[in-house]
Amino acid sequence: MPPIPLASNPLPRIITYYQTHHDSAGKPISLLPLLTQPGISLTHVILAAIHLNEDPNQITLNDHPPHHPRFETLWAELRILQASGVKVLGMLGGAAKGSYKRLDGSDAQFERYYVPLREVIRARGLDGLDLDVEEEMSLGGVVKLIDRLRSDFGKDFIITLAPVAAALLDHRSNLSGFDYEALEVMRGHEISWYNAQFYCGWGDMSNPIMYEMIIRKGWPIEKVVVGLVTNPDNGSGFVMWEFLSAVLTLLRGRHERFGGVMGWEYFNSLPGGKERPWEWAKQMTSVLRNDASLTSAQPPPINEATKPVLEADPDAPNSKPVQVPKQFDYYSDDSDI
């Protein structure tokens, strides 16, 4: 059976991050089953992680330059995905700090580090860039970066950001420094969507409460993508499928323009694990992009007059303050996987 064709409207999106590119024996971890296996309607792959280093001309993809021979299979497969209609973005930054500090200086410093990044994006034909800002950056700095990307790559270039979900509710619960609400007011028309991290203590998808609070705050439904860890080994906050499928079915049925889901990360995604990581995308397709299953799974209409008031993360009486979670360490190819 051929893969489920992508609709002209990609909502809801199904996105996977691809940072671990090789197994423990050094063999490339293939993305092609996302095309060849039946019942999968993947919309986007986000290639991680691009880092700007002290030498502006020494950009790395994880621990190696993008042109390193170890990435030959990776770039070839990404071109195949693009030819099949899947959009491929690069991810800049993440847990490894420094990239945004280097872009958040004087105009001369910005040029020194931005121009080599622009050339990598052009050389590899990326469809967009995901700005995963997990270090202090000024609002003016991120606006400058967004403006330059739009100017250099045009209206069809996809620009996304990856805040922790809590940052969409409270600017103080934030890893990025700047206020995402202010950014949305200033440059929301240039931002395609937000890959909101509902994990590692910064969000919860075992129930729909936090997501609904974000939407009620005024965030556009189509721009909030629910970020999930695909395996407990990838960070805390993993939600078992029995619960997650019910939550996603509810949200998909309740919100016609539901933005979709993203998974961190591909190589060990459950239920298939390292042997069959594509099965995560198949599960998501069955709930989010299979119209036949949606028809039978629609939740009952919501009575606005009796709809309960939702409270995100309610505290018990005399409960202790919640501890801020430790920084989440991403996997890289040199990790013991």
What Å distances lie between residue 275 and 238, 280, 326, 335, CA to CA? 19, 12, 30, 18
Distance (Å, whole) CA 280 – CA 230: 7
Closest by CA to 246, choosing from 302, 207, 214, 216, is 207
Give the whole-angstrom CA distance, residue 289 versus residue 14: 9
* Alpha carbons 81 and 289: distance in angstroms, whole number: 18
| Domain over 13-296 is classified CATH 3.40.30.10 | no
Domain boundaries, the chain: 13-296
Give me 10's structure tokens.
């990609």
Structure tokens at 219: 């965030």
- Tell me the pLDDT of the chain (337 aa) as tens digits: 455 555 456 899 999 999 999 999 999 999 999 999 999 999 999 999 999 999 999 999 999 999 999 999 999 999 999 999 999 999 999 989 999 999 999 999 999 999 999 999 999 999 999 999 999 999 999 999 999 999 999 999 999 999 999 999 999 999 999 999 999 999 999 999 999 999 999 999 999 999 999 999 999 999 999 999 999 999 999 999 999 999 999 999 999 999 999 999 999 999 999 999 999 999 999 999 976 443 333 444 444 444 444 444 444 334 444 444 444 444 444 443 3
Q: Specify the pTM.
A: 0.86
Length of the chain: 337
Residues 6+ apart with CB under 8 A from 284: 14, 248, 261, 263
